[in-house]
């Protein structure tokens, strides 16, 4: 287990999540892509803490924030999808382009 191996894993998770966030039409699947991206960030945060400066807890604090952001993102995402679904019966990104200029 090395810092490089963990960072490559983080990069892989981030890239897979990015693919999902860019390509998925269903908003729920898009949110799964975002979760995977934050998952990669969490791995990188833990790796930096363990392999670079374990004496200060900065990396741990970063992971704590990222995990919280993950939960909040899901809560807000589902609230928006529910409101949208209730009003229009859609849950696809292509049908929710209200702010498009």
Partner 1 sequence: MDVAFWVLAVVAAAAGVAVFVVDSMARATFALLASLLAVGGIFLLLDLHYLGVLIVLMMVMEMLVMAVFMIMYMMNPAGLMPMTMVHNHRGAIVIAGAVFVLLAAGALLTPWPHRRGAPPADPTHALGLSIMGPKMLVMMVIGVAILATMIATVVLATHRGRYDADRGHGS
Q: Which is nearer to partner 1, 66 or 101 (CB)?
A: 66
Kindly identify the residues of this chain, within the stretch 60-99, that bind partner 1 according to CB under 8 A. 60-61, 63-65, 67-68, 70-72, 74-76, 78-88, 91-94
Task: Give Cβ neighbours of residue 59 (< 8 Å, ≥ 6 apart).
Answer: 45, 46, 48, 49, 50, 52, 53
Q: Which is nearer to partner 1, 80 or 101 (CB)?
A: 80
Shortest distance, CB of residue 101 to partner 1, whole angstroms? Answer: 18
CB crowding 67-78: b at 16 or more within 10 Å, else e: eeebeeebeebe
Largest CA distance in the chain: 52
Shortest distance, CB of residue 48 to partner 1, whole angstroms? Answer: 9
Q: Which is nearer to partner 1, 63 or 101 (CB)?
A: 63
- Check binding of 1 to partner 1 (CB under 8 A): yes
Q: How many CA atoms lie within 13 A of 57 on its CB side?
A: 4
- Check binding of 49 to partner 1 (CB under 8 A): yes
């Amino acid at each position: 287990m090395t810092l490089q191996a963990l960072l490559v894993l983080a990069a892989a998770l981030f890239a897979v999540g990015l693919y999902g966030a860019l390509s998925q039409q269903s908003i729920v699947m898009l949110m799964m892509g975002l979760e995977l991206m934050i998952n990669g960030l969490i791995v990188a945060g833990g790796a930096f803490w363990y392999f670079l400066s374990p004496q200060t807890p900065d990396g741990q604090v970063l992971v704590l924030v990222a995990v919280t952001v993950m939960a909040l993102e899901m809560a807000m995402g589902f609230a928006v999808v529910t409101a949208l679904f209730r009003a229009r019966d859609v849950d696809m990104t292509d049908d929710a382009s209200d702010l498009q200029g």
